[in-house]
A and B are shown apart, each in its own frame.
Chain A
Protein backbone atom coordinates (compact mmCIF):
# COMPACT_ATOMS: atom_id res chain seq x y z
CA UNK A 1 0.00 0.00 0.00
CA UNK A 2 1.03 3.65 -0.23
CA UNK A 3 1.26 3.78 3.56
CA UNK A 4 3.75 0.91 3.58
CA UNK A 5 5.77 2.65 0.88
CA UNK A 6 5.83 5.85 2.94
CA UNK A 7 7.15 3.95 5.96
CA UNK A 8 9.90 2.32 3.89
CA UNK A 9 10.89 5.60 2.28
CA UNK A 10 10.96 7.46 5.63
CA UNK A 11 13.09 4.94 7.48
CA UNK A 12 15.49 4.57 4.57
CA UNK A 13 16.25 8.29 4.73
CA UNK A 14 18.34 7.86 7.86
Chain B
Protein backbone atom coordinates (compact mmCIF):
# COMPACT_ATOMS: atom_id res chain seq x y z
CA UNK B 1 0.00 0.00 0.00
CA UNK B 2 1.23 3.45 -0.93
CA UNK B 3 -0.43 6.63 0.26
CA UNK B 4 0.92 10.19 0.26
CA UNK B 5 -1.26 13.11 1.38
CA UNK B 6 -0.16 16.64 0.65
CA UNK B 7 -2.05 19.45 2.41
CA UNK B 8 -0.63 22.00 -0.01
CA UNK B 9 -1.84 20.26 -3.17
CA UNK B 10 -0.89 23.25 -5.31
CA UNK B 11 2.75 22.19 -4.88
CA UNK B 12 2.08 19.01 -6.84
CA UNK B 13 0.36 21.03 -9.56
CA UNK B 14 3.44 23.25 -9.77
CA UNK B 15 5.75 20.23 -9.84
CA UNK B 16 3.78 18.92 -12.80
CA UNK B 17 4.28 22.19 -14.68
CA UNK B 18 8.00 21.92 -13.95
CA UNK B 19 8.23 18.44 -15.47
CA UNK B 20 5.82 18.13 -18.33
CA UNK B 21 7.57 20.28 -20.92
CA UNK B 22 10.71 18.14 -20.79
CA UNK B 23 9.30 14.71 -20.08
CA UNK B 24 6.44 12.77 -21.67
CA UNK B 25 6.61 9.94 -19.19
CA UNK B 26 8.55 9.08 -16.08
CA UNK B 27 8.73 6.61 -13.23
CA UNK B 28 7.79 7.86 -9.76
CA UNK B 29 9.90 5.78 -7.41
CA UNK B 30 8.35 5.54 -3.97
CA UNK B 31 10.11 4.29 -0.86
CA UNK B 32 9.69 4.98 2.85
CA UNK B 33 12.07 7.94 2.39
CA UNK B 34 9.79 9.65 -0.10
CA UNK B 35 9.20 10.01 -3.81
CA UNK B 36 11.94 10.33 -6.41
CA UNK B 37 11.79 10.82 -10.12
CA UNK B 38 14.75 10.91 -12.45
CA UNK B 39 14.58 11.01 -16.22
CA UNK B 40 16.42 12.24 -19.28
CA UNK B 41 14.50 14.30 -21.81
CA UNK B 42 13.88 12.76 -25.23
CA UNK B 43 16.93 14.35 -26.81
CA UNK B 44 19.15 13.02 -24.02
CA UNK B 45 20.96 16.29 -23.25
CA UNK B 46 19.12 17.20 -20.05
CA UNK B 47 18.10 15.28 -16.96
CA UNK B 48 15.37 16.08 -14.44
CA UNK B 49 15.68 14.91 -10.86
CA UNK B 50 12.80 15.41 -8.42
CA UNK B 51 12.91 14.58 -4.73
CA UNK B 52 9.93 14.84 -2.37
CA UNK B 53 10.76 13.73 1.18
CA UNK B 54 8.27 11.67 3.17
CA UNK B 55 8.41 14.18 6.07
CA UNK B 56 7.07 16.89 3.79
CA UNK B 57 3.74 15.09 3.45
CA UNK B 58 0.91 15.36 5.94
CA UNK B 59 0.52 11.59 5.78
CA UNK B 60 2.93 9.18 4.11
CA UNK B 61 2.86 5.42 3.97
CA UNK B 62 4.89 3.16 1.71
CA UNK B 63 4.89 -0.50 2.73
CA UNK B 64 7.17 -1.63 -0.05
CA UNK B 65 9.18 0.16 -2.70
CA UNK B 66 7.30 0.72 -5.89
CA UNK B 67 8.00 2.35 -9.22
CA UNK B 68 4.97 3.89 -10.89
CA UNK B 69 5.38 4.62 -14.58
CA UNK B 70 3.17 7.56 -15.45
CA UNK B 71 2.28 9.39 -18.61
CA UNK B 72 2.88 12.97 -17.51
CA UNK B 73 0.43 14.39 -20.05
CA UNK B 74 -2.34 12.28 -18.49
CA UNK B 75 -1.21 13.12 -14.96
CA UNK B 76 -1.21 16.78 -15.85
CA UNK B 77 -4.79 16.56 -17.14
CA UNK B 78 -5.85 14.97 -13.86
CA UNK B 79 -4.02 17.51 -11.68
CA UNK B 80 -5.71 20.32 -13.61
CA UNK B 81 -8.96 18.99 -12.07
CA UNK B 82 -7.65 19.91 -8.60
CA UNK B 83 -8.14 23.40 -7.21
CA UNK B 84 -5.13 25.22 -5.84
CA UNK B 85 -6.55 24.96 -2.31
CA UNK B 86 -7.23 21.22 -2.52
CA UNK B 87 -5.52 18.59 -0.42
CA UNK B 88 -4.12 15.94 -2.77
CA UNK B 89 -3.62 12.27 -1.92
CA UNK B 90 -1.81 9.82 -4.21
CA UNK B 91 -2.73 6.18 -3.57
CA UNK B 92 -1.79 2.82 -5.02
CA UNK B 93 -2.02 -0.81 -3.98
CA UNK B 94 1.13 -2.95 -4.10
CA UNK B 95 1.66 -4.32 -7.61
CA UNK B 96 -1.30 -2.36 -8.91
CA UNK B 97 -1.59 -1.22 -12.50
CA UNK B 98 -3.39 1.99 -11.56
CA UNK B 99 -2.82 4.97 -9.30
CA UNK B 100 -5.56 7.05 -7.70
CA UNK B 101 -5.50 10.79 -7.09
CA UNK B 102 -7.92 12.11 -4.48
CA UNK B 103 -8.68 15.83 -4.24
CA UNK B 104 -10.39 17.16 -1.11
CA UNK B 105 -11.58 20.72 -0.80
CA UNK B 106 -10.29 22.42 2.38
CA UNK B 107 -13.67 22.12 4.14
CA UNK B 108 -14.12 18.53 2.90
CA UNK B 109 -17.42 19.25 1.16
CA UNK B 110 -16.12 18.14 -2.22
CA UNK B 111 -14.06 15.02 -2.76
CA UNK B 112 -13.02 13.85 -6.23
CA UNK B 113 -11.02 10.82 -7.19
CA UNK B 114 -9.34 10.02 -10.48
CA UNK B 115 -7.84 6.68 -11.33
CA UNK B 116 -5.05 6.58 -13.89
CA UNK B 117 -3.49 3.63 -15.66
CA UNK B 118 0.19 3.07 -14.96
CA UNK B 119 2.72 2.32 -17.68
CA UNK B 120 5.50 -0.23 -17.85
CA UNK B 121 8.58 1.91 -18.28
CA UNK B 122 11.81 0.26 -19.14
CA UNK B 123 13.99 2.87 -17.55
CA UNK B 124 17.63 3.03 -16.74
CA UNK B 125 18.58 4.14 -13.24
CA UNK B 126 21.27 6.76 -13.38
CA UNK B 127 23.46 7.78 -10.51
CA UNK B 128 24.22 11.43 -9.90
CA UNK B 129 27.86 11.88 -8.90
CA UNK B 130 28.81 14.13 -6.01
CA UNK B 131 30.51 17.07 -7.65
CA UNK B 132 32.42 20.11 -6.40
CA UNK B 133 31.45 22.95 -8.66
CA UNK B 134 33.78 25.78 -9.64
CA UNK B 135 30.95 28.33 -9.35
CA UNK B 136 27.57 28.42 -7.70
CA UNK B 137 25.25 31.34 -8.30
CA UNK B 138 22.05 31.95 -6.36
CA UNK B 139 19.65 34.47 -7.79
CA UNK B 140 15.92 35.25 -7.68
CA UNK B 141 14.08 32.66 -9.79
CA UNK B 142 11.95 35.32 -11.47
CA UNK B 143 15.12 37.17 -12.52
CA UNK B 144 16.57 34.01 -14.04
CA UNK B 145 13.31 33.34 -15.93
CA UNK B 146 13.34 36.90 -17.25
CA UNK B 147 16.96 36.64 -18.40
CA UNK B 148 16.32 33.35 -20.22
CA UNK B 149 13.23 34.75 -21.89
CA UNK B 150 14.90 38.01 -22.93
CA UNK B 151 18.10 36.48 -24.28
CA UNK B 152 16.25 33.72 -26.18
CA UNK B 153 15.21 36.42 -28.61
CA UNK B 154 18.80 36.87 -29.71
CA UNK B 155 20.01 33.36 -30.31
CA UNK B 156 19.56 29.69 -29.70
CA UNK B 157 22.29 29.58 -27.10
CA UNK B 158 23.41 31.62 -24.15
CA UNK B 159 26.82 32.05 -22.55
CA UNK B 160 26.91 32.13 -18.75
CA UNK B 161 30.18 33.56 -17.43
CA UNK B 162 30.88 33.74 -13.74
CA UNK B 163 33.68 35.71 -12.10
CA UNK B 164 34.22 37.09 -8.60
CA UNK B 165 32.59 40.36 -9.63
CA UNK B 166 29.40 38.87 -10.91
CA UNK B 167 27.70 36.78 -13.51
CA UNK B 168 27.15 37.67 -17.16
CA UNK B 169 24.55 36.14 -19.46
CA UNK B 170 25.03 36.78 -23.20
CA UNK B 171 23.42 35.75 -26.45
CA UNK B 172 24.30 36.62 -30.03
CA UNK B 173 22.29 36.15 -33.19
CA UNK B 174 21.09 37.73 -36.43
CA UNK B 175 19.61 40.80 -34.79
CA UNK B 176 22.62 41.50 -32.59
CA UNK B 177 23.84 40.80 -29.10
CA UNK B 178 22.34 40.92 -25.62
CA UNK B 179 24.37 41.04 -22.42
CA UNK B 180 22.99 41.01 -18.89
CA UNK B 181 25.34 41.46 -15.97
CA UNK B 182 24.32 40.78 -12.39
CA UNK B 183 26.58 41.92 -9.60
CA UNK B 184 26.76 40.09 -6.31
CA UNK B 185 24.39 41.76 -3.85
CA UNK B 186 26.17 44.00 -1.36
CA UNK B 187 23.43 43.82 1.21
CA UNK B 188 19.87 42.60 0.99
CA UNK B 189 16.82 42.79 3.16
CA UNK B 190 15.36 39.54 1.90
CA UNK B 191 17.61 36.58 1.27
CA UNK B 192 15.55 35.33 -1.67
CA UNK B 193 16.18 38.59 -3.51
CA UNK B 194 19.96 38.29 -3.25
CA UNK B 195 22.49 37.42 -5.92
CA UNK B 196 25.13 35.33 -4.18
CA UNK B 197 28.19 33.92 -5.93
CA UNK B 198 30.58 31.33 -4.60
CA UNK B 199 33.55 30.88 -6.89
CA UNK B 200 36.64 28.67 -6.83
CA UNK B 201 37.63 29.60 -10.39
CA UNK B 202 35.96 31.61 -13.17
CA UNK B 203 33.80 29.57 -15.55
CA UNK B 204 32.23 30.41 -18.90
CA UNK B 205 29.93 27.88 -20.57
CA UNK B 206 27.37 27.92 -23.39
CA UNK B 207 23.90 26.40 -23.08
CA UNK B 208 20.86 25.95 -25.31
CA UNK B 209 18.23 28.59 -24.42
CA UNK B 210 15.40 26.17 -25.20
CA UNK B 211 16.28 23.94 -22.24
CA UNK B 212 16.96 26.80 -19.86
CA UNK B 213 13.53 28.17 -20.70
CA UNK B 214 11.96 24.78 -19.99
CA UNK B 215 13.69 24.71 -16.60
CA UNK B 216 12.15 28.07 -15.70
CA UNK B 217 8.71 26.40 -15.71
CA UNK B 218 9.69 25.57 -12.10
CA UNK B 219 9.86 29.27 -11.17
CA UNK B 220 6.64 29.20 -9.14
CA UNK B 221 8.10 26.51 -6.84
CA UNK B 222 10.77 28.72 -5.34
CA UNK B 223 11.71 32.39 -4.94
CA UNK B 224 15.34 31.63 -5.73
CA UNK B 225 17.27 29.31 -8.01
CA UNK B 226 20.82 28.02 -7.78
CA UNK B 227 23.07 27.46 -10.81
CA UNK B 228 26.17 25.28 -10.36
CA UNK B 229 28.84 25.17 -13.04
CA UNK B 230 32.19 23.54 -13.70
CA UNK B 231 34.04 23.04 -16.95
CA UNK B 232 33.25 19.77 -18.78
CA UNK B 233 30.28 18.76 -16.62
CA UNK B 234 26.55 19.45 -16.87
CA UNK B 235 25.11 22.64 -15.39
CA UNK B 236 22.78 22.12 -12.42
CA UNK B 237 19.73 24.36 -12.03
CA UNK B 238 18.10 23.75 -8.66
CA UNK B 239 14.75 24.92 -7.32
CA UNK B 240 14.00 24.08 -3.70
CA UNK B 241 10.40 23.02 -3.01
CA UNK B 242 9.62 24.55 0.40
CA UNK B 243 10.29 22.05 3.20
CA UNK B 244 9.62 19.02 1.07
CA UNK B 245 12.40 18.66 -1.47
CA UNK B 246 13.76 19.98 -4.74
CA UNK B 247 13.75 19.72 -8.49
CA UNK B 248 17.14 19.77 -10.20
CA UNK B 249 17.80 20.04 -13.88
CA UNK B 250 21.10 18.98 -15.46
CA UNK B 251 22.11 20.31 -18.86
CA UNK B 252 25.18 19.50 -20.93
CA UNK B 253 27.03 22.61 -22.10
CA UNK B 254 27.36 23.09 -25.84
CA UNK B 255 30.63 21.70 -27.08
CA UNK B 256 32.30 23.23 -30.14
CA UNK B 257 33.45 20.69 -32.70
Contacts and interface: CB of A to CB of B under 8 A. Distances in A.
A11 B257 contact: no
Contacts, number: 46
Contacts of B47: 7, 11
B44 interface: yes
Q: Could you tell me the dominant secondary structure of chain B's interface residues?
A: loop
A7 B255 contact: no
Chain B's interface size range is 20 to 34
A11 B130 CA distance: 10
Given A10-B233, A10-B234, A3 B129 contact: no
B128 to A, nearest CB: 6
Interface string B240-257: 000000000010111101
Interface residues of A, number: 12
B255 to A, nearest CB: 4
A7 B128 contact: no
B129 A7 contact: no
Contact of A14 (B128, B233, B254): B128
Contacts of B233: 6, 10
Interface string B35-66: 00000100111110000000000000000000
B256 to A, nearest CB: 9
Nearest to A4: B44
Contacts of A2: 255, 257
A6 B255 contact: yes
B175 interface: no
A11 B131 CA distance: 11
A12 to B, nearest CB: 8
Contacts of B189: none
B37 to A, nearest CB: 15
A11 B128 contact: yes
Contacts of A3: 45, 252-255
Given A6-B253, A6-B255, 14 more contacts: A3-B253, A4-B43, A4-B44, A4-B45, A4-B252, A6-B232, A6-B234, A7-B40, A7-B47, A10-B129, A10-B234, A12-B126, A14-B127, A14-B130
Interface of A: 1-4, 6-8, 10-14
25 contacts: A2-B257, A3-B45, A3-B253, A3-B255, A4-B45, A6-B232, A6-B233, A6-B234, A6-B252, A7-B44, A7-B45, A7-B47, A7-B250, A8-B44, A10-B234, A10-B252, A11-B47, A11-B127, A11-B129, A12-B127, A13-B127, A13-B129, A14-B127, A14-B129, A14-B130
